[in-house]
Structures are given as structure tokens and as C-alpha cells.
Amino acid sequence: MAGGKLSARQKMINLMYLVFIAMIAMTTSKEILSAFSLFNKKFESANELAVASNTNLLKGLKTQAEEKPSEFGVAYNNAQQISTIANEFFTYLESQKKMILDKGKFAAAYAEEGSLPAEEMDKGDALDEFWFTGDRLTKNGQAFVDRINKFKSDVNAVLGDDVAYNPAKETLERRFSTADVPNKDGKKQTWLDYNFKGFPAVASYTKLTAMQNDIKATEANLYNVFLGNTVDEATSLKNYEAIVIPDKNAFFAGEKFTGRVVLGKYANVTPTKLVVGSDELDLDREGAIDSTGAARIEFTVGNVGEHEIDGQFTFLEKGEQLPIDFKGNYVVVPRPKTATISADKMNVVYRGVANPMTISFAGVTDDKVKASGNGLSPKGGGQYVMNPGSGKEVTINVTATLDDGSTARDSKTFRIKDIPAPTGTISKQSGVVKLPKRNVEVGTVGAELNDFVFDLPIQTTSFKVKVPGQPTINVAGTKMNAQAKAAIRRARRGDQITIFEIKAKIQGNNKYRLKNVSPVIVEVTN
């Protein structure tokens, strides 16, 4: 295309080719921006799980410190300091994320949509002006870098000079390094410039969420290090604890108690003697010892209420008998008289939908529970499906066969509701929307059940289109026909095109008639 004099036709072809390449680049850009929003959601979910996990680790350290202060006291004190440092830095990064939304004017869209407006966050000018001035950092940019370095120094101050913490310190530095970074040309850039300058706002926001994830990972790693440093020496059986593990949490009056007594680390060590209360159990009986060294204990439980169980494990260590005492508790409860019936996804059941339900009876296995009701079908394992018919209510009756052969019965009534009216859409947008005429011509007309507890596949079968000054046009399917497209082309800027009487059905369920679909109004923008 570069040599010689080009004809008018060839110039036009070349121009169209460039426009086509530009359109591809724009599409790819939108996909990348949406991917950042998806990654941000995944990081946020991971952070929520990490918070819960770290809380449990800290609680475990506290319990150990209370029971064994000489072994775990210092570790728990260090862990508390790390928790405070990590939470403060996590909160600081959250404030920086809020700053990106506020300065970029994305906060309102984020609050409305419940997720990042990725395609709107394609520029990072606001953040660039806040953190950079020319080739230098602003005071705010330098303050951000200083805050990262403060987090590292605070953590290192807690760890001190103990060489056992060196691997953790190296991991900390690697995760939160702010050293200069060589770019693709081999020239060094400041860490902040390399990672944030010129990036879309959605990318910078996601990077901060990922950094929050690194904080939680660092916190968890240090808690585990503290635990490891305090129990490495616990290799002798004298440092193990015997634990009573009942087969279930509560037993019926007169029922036989079944459970296991195990060592805390499940060491593969076979006991030589097992005493429960004043009775010595036969270790040669079938199933008395399993492959992990766990011993099964059996005895007839007492009356309703809480009871204590105690006994002694005896092991052979270095040629000598080593006795280990154990204690535990179990609760005896009355035999059940009521069932537990719950709808997995709702407080009511919906007509036209296969409603999943879990039905069980406290203390009774699923194979001994029977449930019945109009439209109820068993799926196995306590799982059922309810397809309600006519009427406003449906009653489920449950019968359970207890271990002694007797039966217990219960029932529960559920309200029946119809599926709510779907919302009409064009190109996944509903209500009053603004679109170019071309977008209306090629758009897909659909129907969605907003905020419904089930994700039902809705299929649009037909609709009507009204363009100001044009007769109403009937369209079959989900796309504009030739007549509708012609009418839309005659619309003027500011005209409101109404898409109404949208007919839709549930895929795979032609019998159920959905309520009227709401219309869509499109204001023409060009």
C-alpha cells in the first residue's frame, strides 16, 4: 500500500482497513477493562476468606497462650502486634481505593452497580495528577510509598533479630518491595511510576486490592511461623493430648455411645491399653484400632443431659508404658418429635420453577425419613424438588422411623407465589436508555428476572416497536426485522422509540405463562 500513486478506491479501502483495526483495539480494551473488574471481585472474595481464616488462627494462638503461657505467650503477643499493623495498613489501602473512586467520579456508579464500572475507568488521569508531577512524585505519591515502607519496618520491628524469622522477612520484602524497576528499555523507573502511572483507574484499583491480599497472606504466614517456632520441639508422646471424638454430638437416652479417642497429631501409634471410667476395653475386638492409631470406645449412655467421660490411653515408648489421661463431654438429648424442613433458596416456593429443598429429621439418617406433598419429588440424600401446582399454599408432611422402630411425624406449610414479571431489555439495558440508532437496529431484545432467586433461561418470542411518526411494527424473535430497521433509520435525535408487548417464555417450560414483560424506551442519541 506504500508504493506508487493510489487510486481513490484503494485509498478508501486503506482507510476502512485502519478503521477496522481501531475497532478491534477498542473491543479488546473493553474486554481487558472488564477482566480487571472480575479480578478485583475475586481478590475481594479471597480477602474476606483470609480475614476469617486469620481470625481463627489468632484465636487459636490466644487459647494456647492462656493454657500454656510459657510456650505461647510471646508468640501471641507478637501475633497481636502483627494483627494491628496489618489491619491499619489494610484500612489505609482501602482509603486509597476510595480516593480513586472519588477523584475519578466513579463512586456513584460503583454504589449503584455494586461493582466497578470498568469501561468508565479506562483513564487514570485523576490518580496520575494526585501522585505524580512531571517525572517526580507529589507529596501524596511519596506518602503512599512511605506508608508501604512503614508497614515493612513495623513488621520487622516485631520480628526482631531472630534468624528463625529470616525467611518470613525475605517474603515480606519481596511482596512489598518499592525499589526502582527496570522498564522494557532497561532504564530504571521508580516503583510507583512503573506500577501505576498511565494505567487505567480500574487497573490501579485492582492492584491495591491485590496488595490487600498480600497483607492477609503475610499475616497468615507469620501466625503459622509463630506456631511453628513454639511447637517444633514437641516430638515426644508426652507432649501429645488425647482427644475424645464422638461419632455424633448428641445421643438419645439409652442409646449406645460410639466415638474415638485419638492423639492430637494422629500419630500412627497403637495403644497397649484403653480404660474408660473404671472399665478396660478389649483392644482385640473388630474395629477397635484403625490405621491412624485411633481407638474406638463404646458404652451405654446415661439419662438426658450433659455427661463427662474420662479414661486413660497407654502407649509403649522407649520400652516403657506411658499413660495419657483424657477427658471429654457428651450430651444426651430426648428423641426427636419435630422435623427440620427448609427451602434452600427461599422462604416460599414458586410456581413454574423446580424449587430445591432439604428435608431432614434431627438425629435420624436420611434413608429413614419420608416426605410427601403435592408436587414434591425425592432426589436422594435428603434432597427434594418441589413443583407446586395451583392454589396459594402447599403442605409437606414428614415421617421419620427412629432406631427403636417407632415413628415421629411433622409437617410445614409453604406459600406459593408466581414468578414476578420480567423486565424488558435491549442489549441487556432496561427502562429508559440512550442509544445510537445503529445500536437499536442491531440490538437484541430480551427479558430478564431482576433480583429473582432463580437464574431462569428466558426466551423472547416477539415484540412490537413504535417509532414517533411511524406505524407500530410487529417483530418475531429477538432481532429487529427489515421493516423495524427502516423505521428506526427515520428516527431523529431525541426521539423515543418504544419496544413493548414483549412476549417471553421459560425455556423448557412452555406450560407456564409469564406475566407481562415491562417495555423499554430508547432515546435516540444521533
What is the per-residue DSSP string for 191-205? HHHHHHTT--HHHHH
Whole-angstrom CA distances from 78 to 66, 106, 160, 167, 170 are 15, 39, 10, 17, 18
6 domain-assigned: no
Distance of CA 505 to the CA centre of its chain: 31
| Domain, as residue range, for 343 | 339-417
Say whether pLDDT at 16 is over 70.
no
Per-residue pLDDT tens for 426-450? Answer: 999 999 999 999 999 999 999 999 8
Q: List, in sequence order, every residue forming a beta bridge with 521; answer none if it has no partner.
A: 432, 498
Domain boundary among 378, 396, 417: 417
Per-residue pLDDT tens for 319-353? Answer: 467 788 877 776 676 666 667 676 666 678 999 89
Neighbours of 414 (CB within 10 A): 20
Say whether pLDDT at 33 is over 60.
yes
Same domain, 207 and 83: yes
State the pLDDT at residue 337.
Answer: 66
State the pLDDT at residue 292.
Answer: 61
The pairing of strands 136-137 and 181-182 is unpaired
Same domain, 310 and 242: yes
Domain boundary among 204, 231, 258: 231
SS3 358: strand
Residue tagged 505519591 (cell numbers): 141
Under a CB-based contact definition with an 8 Å cutoff, are residues 104 and 127 in contact? yes
Q: Which three cell numbers stand for residue 27?
A: 473491543
Same domain, 160 and 141: yes
Residue tagged 486469620 (cell numbers): 54
What gap in Å lies between CA 221 and CA 57, rounded to an integer? 10
Q: What is the pTM of this model?
A: 0.42
Same domain, 349 and 327: no
1 domain-assigned: no
Same domain, 100 and 141: yes
* Residue 124 pLDDT grade (very low, low, confident, very high; cuts 50, 70, 90): confident
Residue 280 is which amino acid? E
- Average predicted confidence (pLDDT) for the chain: 83
What gap in Å lies between CA 446 and CA 462, rounded to an integer? 10
Domain boundary among 231, 262, 282: 231
Say whether pLDDT at 264 is over 70.
no
Q: In the predicted model, what is the mean pLDDT of residues 355-383?
A: 89
Question: Which strands, in side-by-side order, build the sheet including 242-246?
Answer: 242-246, 256-263, 295-300
Same domain, 60 and 77: yes
**Range of 123-127, 158-162, 386-390, 462-466 with top mean pLDDT:** 462-466
